[in-house]
Structure 1
Amino acid sequence: MSHGGGGGGPVVLCTPACVTRSVPRVASGELGRRYAALAYEIGRGVAQGERLAEPLALRARARGVLDALGVRIESAPESLTVRGGPDRGAVQGVGTLIVANHISWLDVVGLLAVEPVTVLAKREVGQWPVIGTLARRAGCQFIDRDGLRQLPYVVAELASALRSGRSVLAFPQATTWCSVPGGRFRRATFQAAADAGAPVRPVTIRYYQHGTRSTTAAFLGDETFGASLHRVARARGLTMRVTAHSPLHGSDRRELAAAAQAVVTTRCEEGG
């Protein structure tokens, strides 16, 4: 049920066969219009250069991409960042570690449309044509999921970012899954929150088509980005639902990881 594998990475258990085949689909004319609108949004992002990392610009481009693809987003609440304070068990002024289940590349676009934050992404994303360039300009931090020797340095950088007041989005399942429960939450990123005294905001991402749960947006197995993009672009009535849960606080990464995973999984099963 993942988009990854090899080395020390997650084992691939899910293939594109798990994906809903975008039914109903848009007509060919609408599909062409969507691709044209997407190209326009990408072009604007490239033209903005380093200014793309500015919050207002980043949110505008993310929302523009969703609109171009015909994807509707629902978010509750509308803010993902938690403003910490001593009475909440967090250090005042620190950022928030936002952790979400991971289904698709579309997850990042949708969450940035809700609230622009620093995104922790796998190294391969930075190497994708055009998308990699935009990701770097948007301020993404990249991690080699198989490079265990680099992990302490990544954790230290994340803790430093959180202490500086920047909020960081991470996908602790380390790879994409076709359903919300997916794989276990890995603990490393939670160490950064513990070190910085930062709150952890668990987030559940789900996709629907005309009100029915859908795996259309899932990016799985050895599927190419182009194939996944095409399926999303031709899907009619695709909605991404983002549910941010109550913040967690603590100093033990194991407890934080387990609590965050339990919240995301339980709320998914309850449909909340």
Structure 2
Amino acid sequence: MEAVRRGAALAETLARRGDIGNRAAEALRALGIRLDTDGERPSVPGGPGTLIVANHVSWLDIVGLLALEPVTFLAKREIARWPVFGSLARRVDTVFVDRWALRTLPEAVAAVAERLRAGRSVAVFPEATTWCSPPGGPFRRAVFQAALDARAPIRPVTLTYLQRGEPTTVAAFVGDDGLATSVGRVARARELTLRVDVHPALPPQGDRRSLAEQARAAVLGREPAGV
């Protein structure tokens, strides 16, 4: 019953009108999740927006990033139909992409570049799916073209979930997990922390392949391939 209550509190908090960042922070508190950051914001102030690239673990990734600052997202089309989260994604002007229709990818990349030029920061998960632990999957390159086209900085971000100070997979949203099942599991967890490490920005230089490799290396805390 406690998990149901806390899950309902999450949905109610996110559904309320008002500042989305404050509501996201309240939602984390409703679930008993501590947000731990290194004090930096993912965006680079001034000029075009920032392309924020992060590893992907859970639906909580979105809530955690929104609690830090008002960003928009590039997300799979299916999220638009999710209860609560679909409405939230639409309200922050998310760009939805059909992962199974590659012909639509250039349009999505152009939409991200348009938002970056307008000064909006866009958060993306280049692995394109969730992973329960590092090293995760390769970073898909296409979205880095948006940063090159908009001359926008790229900010790598590492998301880590901890329980009682140790790495945990309790928040992972993978395999055959349903959203309700995952929310319930998170709501039952105790002493859960989302750690957000913000790394130095990468300039929009070179090609999208090298940018993808540099960003992934920064997220994983490794040297880029070939270095």
Establish whether TM, by shorter chain, passes 0.5: yes
Unaligned runs of 5+ in 2: 223-227
Contact 1:187 1:257 in 2 (8 A): yes
Deviation of 1:223 after TM superposition, in Å, equals 1.0
User: Aligned residue pairs: how many?
Assistant: 221
**Is the contact made by 1:95 and 1:165 (CA closer than 8 Å) also made in structure 2?**
yes
Aligned 8 A contact 1:98 1:167 in 2: yes
Which of structures 1 and 2 has the bigger CA Rg?
A: 1
Matches within 5 A, 1:8-23: none
Matched, 1:40 2:12: yes
Q: In the alignment, residue 68 of structure 1 is paired with which amino acid? A: A
Shift of 1:192: 0.3
Q: List per-residue Cα deviations over 1:93-139 (Å, max 9, x = no partner).
A: 11100000000000010011011101111100001123212221232
3-state SS of paired residue (2:115): helix
Contact 1:118 1:166 in 2 (8 A): yes
With structure 1 as the length reference, what TM-score do the two structures score? 0.77
* Distance in 2 separating the partners of 1:255 and 1:43: 40
Unaligned 5+ segments in structure 1 are: 1-27, 85-92, 268-272
Percent identity for Structure 1 against Structure 2: 57
Q: Work out the CA distance in 2 between the residues paired with 1:43 and 1:262.
A: 36
1:78 and 2:40 matched: yes
Task: Give the match for residue 259 of structure 1.
Answer: 214
Distance 2:134 2:197 in 1: 12
String of CA shifts for 1:34-81, please: whole Å, max 9, x gaps.
23532431442xxx2xxx5xxxx0101101110111110011133110
Residues 110, 240 of structure 1: 8 Å contact kept: yes
CA distance in 2, matches of 1:95, 1:177: 27
Alignment of 1:1-272 (within 5 A): 30-31=2-3, 33-44=5-16, 48=17, 57-83=19-45, 93-249=47-203, 250-266=205-221
Contact 1:180 1:205 in 2 (8 A): no
Distance 1:142 1:154 in 2: 7
How far apart, CA to CA, are the structure 1 residues paired with 2:134 and 2:116? 26
Q: CA RMSD in A?
A: 1.5
Matches of 1:166 and 1:186 in 2, distance apart?
21
* Superposition deviation, residue 144 in structure 1: 0.9
Runs of 4+ deviating beyond 3 Å: 30-33
Distance 1:36 1:203, change over 3 A: same
Decide whether the 8 Å contact of 1:78 with 1:114 is kept in 2: no
Match of 1:22 in 2: none
- CA shift in 2, pair 1:188/1:109, >3 Å: same
Kept in 2: contact 1:98–1:203 (CA 8 A):
yes
